[in-house]
Structure 1
Amino acid sequence: MSFRQIASAHHRENLRYHNGLPDGWNRDRFRQLCVCYAQIRGASAQCIRTLEIIIDMISPCAFRDPSQEPFCYARQETLIAGRGLTDRTIHNHERELEAIGLIERRLGANGARCKRKGLGLFLTPALNLIPEMRDADVRSKAEKKEHDALRGDRSRLYRYVKHSLAVLASLPCPPEGFDELMARFRSWPRADKLKYMSVDGLRSHVQAVHDLWKWIEIHIAKPGEISGEPEACFGCHIQDQIEEKILSCNVDGEATMPSAKTTEPDCSGLESNHPAVIEPRKAQKLPRVNNRTLYELASSELRMHIDIAGGGDQKFCPTLYAIETGVWSRLSEIGTNISAWHAATDRLTLMGAILAGVITDARLSDPKLPPVVNPGGYLRGMVQAEERGDLNLIASFMGLLARRAREEEQALRSDGAPPANALTRAW
């Protein structure tokens, strides 16, 4: 074998291969995926910025052609590009990117880079890592979604447990083990610390909070009342009849009743999960309706979410916590952003937001009105209408009542039974 044949064989052994970008992809989409993966692997912001510069310095066609390897042969001074970094920092960035499998450093003596000699920072490992990076991105987004949902559950549970402990503390004879409950309550991490907890740790914490809430609910729940909300001094707006005026309500869902006085539990060291209202505002007029009526007005999909939040069993008179959690879960399922829900609770109060959520969900399947394309926008529109003073939740509620009555009457007729109004006339 000649020296030329040996050199050619050696060259073929050193070639690195890749399949190029997936169909429909371009360099920018590949860069976004690499950035997400680097963030998942814990790379610093400066290191990620170095990666972006490296990718931008490579021709887009190099990523699509499997016959050539995309590589950056720019000097470290070029990668710095006035960012105020040192050569040593760029060197550490390159080492870190190589360690997580995004680049391969093929450099000459003293770190030399040369286009003609094929020396530089190669992106071939990242191209071959695309399936793994996409799987990691999907897992990361799923974990983030679960983490956000768990923090939302903890925020709601915190509010109900706090109010319920206030009721137990006001009793002449608190139940046995109340001091231990208060100690557990004070030991909970603050709301701003939850985002640093792992998903498993947060899941265990929320389960512990839920178990404590269920224990408290047994001791304060009474038939005909909203379980989970404190009793007389913490009565909520959901009652038995329709009225034009209701009590003002803050963002935590507490009813402002000046005639009632209750001692709050000592929550020193724990921050509130909801900001306080800076400026008082006129309360939105809300109908008074009990939990059972709200459950009957809900759609079948919303009822399913309420049942899940209440423990999985069908309850025709669920707790307020189950209603609130179920309404938000349903709104999230149909595409409502969390910021829209927060805007509704801040402006309409918790009770108004729950009723607006029930109306928004029912509006999706109303055959007599144009379909709602954006449920989140519809909910935001209700908030904006309230800011203008044009929102009338009572009229919307009465319209939903009439619609459910018509649906029930049609269902009775389809089953062959006489309608309810006919039975009334017969009597």
Structure 2
Amino acid sequence: MSFRQIVSTHHHENIRFHNGLPEGWNRDRFRQLCVGYAQIRGASAQCIRTLEIIIDMITPCAFRDPSQEPFCYARQETLIAGRGVTDRTIHNHERELEMIGLLERRLGANGARCKRKGLGLFLTPALNLISEMRDADEQSKAEKKEHDELRGDRSRLYRHVKHSLAVFASLPCSPEGLEDMMGELRSWPRADKLKYMSLDGLRSHVQAAHDLWKRIEIYVKKPGEFSGEPEACFGCHIQDQIEEEILSCNADGEVTMPSAEASEPDCSGSGPYGPPHCLESNHPTDTASSKAQKLPQVNNRILYELASPELRMHIDIAGGGDQNSKPSLYAIETGTWSRLSEIGTNICAWHAAIERLTIMGAILAGVITDARLSDPRLPPVVNPGGYLRGMVQADERGELNLISSFMGLLARRAREEEDRI
């Protein structure tokens, strides 16, 4: 026998031993890990179902006892289990699972299985693969999380880029290269196609989207280079038009807001403040307008000043990494969600806030939620996501007053500033 044959035989014998399941594990948890690993390796749903049946047919104690090997000696007819598949399909599943490394086929002539002779499908390789499977599972979860975050980033970029280009197109003097930027936007894949893009492909696409947004920001910050003197019907600064519209009842220039002492969402009023001829009163009475009626008149600078130091850090990162007291709306939205995610808010709660309160309302609710975590005068918030959902539900009942909460936060920041002085 050659040296290579001796090494191969020794290795083949070694894999027939295992240390059993980790402390505190059982067969069901092991099966869940194997199923997740098979999915990562690209196994079909039918193949994974065959694996589950094989594991369920092995006694649980066989996975914990290193002195015996867990193996399934059931015939292929039993593994079919009325699923409408053929013997050949089961055979292919077994071969695929063996190639993945989850089982070993030790069969007799013509695929015979026998408990007494120790012939069947052995799960020993899977037991020896637990550490690798756990690493693969963690990596898969991390990649899925990054994929979800990239798709969310692309969604925000698409909304801001589309709105900005629409504003540029309405100006009397459009910026140079507008058609190229609009053509690039039209070439972006649809949102439903992003889910099936590879992680590397999605990274490249989002980076290209960021590059386009940076080009737009150059025109936003320096409108005079292409627009000249503003006409009477246009604002002197394009940033005011590109940011989210905020309907306000300050038609006469008078501020009529609740007391600045409030710090919690007020349940005492649901209607807008202001004269009957204001913008809100003349706006169509649809769902979107009823949401916007409850928003205070704020700008990006005020939102940044109200943000906590942690939230400002996230906004700065979203805006390119440098501190900016007047960040873009995209940077504020991205930074707010990043901060809410960091403190344990679910993405579903954030989407519900956007759908109900509009983008600006959700951002303001997020700033208030983040500030509420560090308010020394009130009991600590245990579940920030639940607090944000509570604000959305209060708005659905017509009991949310973001203006009162906004004024309370303004008063709190003013007191903090006085204490520092």
- TM-score, scaled relative to structure 2: 0.83
Q: Displacement of 1:297 after TM fit?
A: 1.0
Q: CA RMSD in A?
A: 2.8
Alpha carbons of structure 1 residues 315 and 404: separation in structure 2 relative to 1, 3 Å: same
Identify which of structures 1 and 2 has the higher relative contact order when contacts are C-alpha pairs closer than 8 Å and 6+ apart: 2
What residue number does 1:424 align with?
none
What residue number does 2:88 align with?
88
Corresponding residue SS for 1:196: coil
Letter in 2 for 1:400: L
Corresponding residue SS for 1:147: helix
**Which deviates the most, 328-337 or 281-290?**
281-290
What residue number does 1:79 align with?
79
> 1:367 and 1:14 mapped to 2: Cα distance?
61
Alpha carbons of structure 1 residues 227 and 67: separation in structure 2 relative to 1, 3 Å: farther
Instruction: Choose which of 344, 347, 351 in structure 1 pairs with 2:353.
Output: 344
What residue number does 1:215 align with?
215
> 1:389 and 1:123 mapped to 2: Cα distance?
59
Letter in 1 for 2:332: I
Corresponding residue SS for 1:321: helix
Structure-to-structure mapping, 1:20-419, within 5 angstroms: 20-221=20-221, 230-231=241-242, 235-236=245-246, 245=272, 282-283=290-291, 284-412=293-421
Letter in 2 for 1:363: R
Alpha carbons of structure 1 residues 350 and 371: separation in structure 2 relative to 1, 3 Å: same
**Which deviates the most, 325-334 or 364-373?**
364-373
Q: Displacement of 1:84 after TM fit?
A: 1.2
Alpha carbons of structure 1 residues 311 and 15: separation in structure 2 relative to 1, 3 Å: closer
**Which deviates the most, 187-196 or 399-408?**
399-408
> 1:225 and 1:336 mapped to 2: Cα distance?
38
> 1:304 and 1:94 mapped to 2: Cα distance?
52
Corresponding residue SS for 1:182: helix
> 1:149 and 1:351 mapped to 2: Cα distance?
20
> 2:36 and 2:397 mapped to 1: Cα distance?
41
Corresponding residue SS for 1:74: coil
Q: Displacement of 1:14 after TM fit?
A: 8.1
What residue number does 1:265 align with?
none
Deviations 1:284-333 (A, max 9, x none): 50111121111111111101000000000001111111100000000001
Q: Displacement of 1:228 after TM fit?
A: 6.0
Letter in 1 for 2:40: I
Letter in 1 for 2:149: A
> 2:209 and 2:202 mapped to 1: Cα distance?
10
Aligned 8 A contact 2:163 2:242 in 1: no
Alpha carbons of structure 1 residues 153 and 15: separation in structure 2 relative to 1, 3 Å: closer
Alpha carbons of structure 1 residues 279 and 390: separation in structure 2 relative to 1, 3 Å: closer
Corresponding residue SS for 1:35: helix
Q: Displacement of 1:36 after TM fit?
A: 0.8
> 2:400 and 2:393 mapped to 1: Cα distance?
8
Deviations 1:249-306 (A, max 9, x none): xxxxxx99999xxxxxxxxxxxxxxxxxx96672250111121111111111101000
Aligned 8 A contact 1:57 1:72 in 2: yes
What residue number does 2:261 align with?
none
Q: Displacement of 1:404 after TM fit?
A: 1.3
> 1:44 and 1:131 mapped to 2: Cα distance?
23
Aligned 8 A contact 2:280 2:289 in 1: no
> 1:62 and 1:391 mapped to 2: Cα distance?
59
Alpha carbons of structure 1 residues 280 and 290: separation in structure 2 relative to 1, 3 Å: closer
Deviations 1:52-92 (A, max 9, x none): 11111111111111111101111111111111111111111
Give me the identity figure in percent. 78
> 1:98 and 1:20 mapped to 2: Cα distance?
19
Q: Displacement of 1:172 after TM fit?
A: 3.0
User: Which stretches in structure 2 are left out of the alignment for 5+ residues?
Assistant: 1-8, 224-234, 258-271
Deviations 1:170-190 (A, max 9, x none): 233322222222221111111
Q: Displacement of 1:117 after TM fit?
A: 0.8
Q: Displacement of 1:221 after TM fit?
A: 3.5
Corresponding residue SS for 2:290: coil
> 1:59 and 1:231 mapped to 2: Cα distance?
65
**Which deviates the most, 284-293 or 223-232?**
223-232
Aligned 8 A contact 1:27 1:63 in 2: yes
Aligned 8 A contact 1:20 1:65 in 2: yes
Letter in 2 for 1:397: F
> 1:229 and 1:187 mapped to 2: Cα distance?
27
Alpha carbons of structure 1 residues 369 and 19: separation in structure 2 relative to 1, 3 Å: same
Letter in 2 for 1:395: S
> 1:148 and 1:241 mapped to 2: Cα distance?
44
Corresponding residue SS for 2:400: coil
Aligned 8 A contact 2:69 2:122 in 1: yes
Corresponding residue SS for 1:62: helix
> 1:337 and 1:366 mapped to 2: Cα distance?
22
Q: Displacement of 1:214 after TM fit?
A: 1.2
User: Which stretches in structure 1 are left out of the alignment for 5+ residues?
Assistant: 1-8, 248-254, 260-277, 413-427
Alpha carbons of structure 1 residues 402 and 130: separation in structure 2 relative to 1, 3 Å: same
What residue number does 1:6 align with?
none
- TM-score, scaled relative to structure 1: 0.82
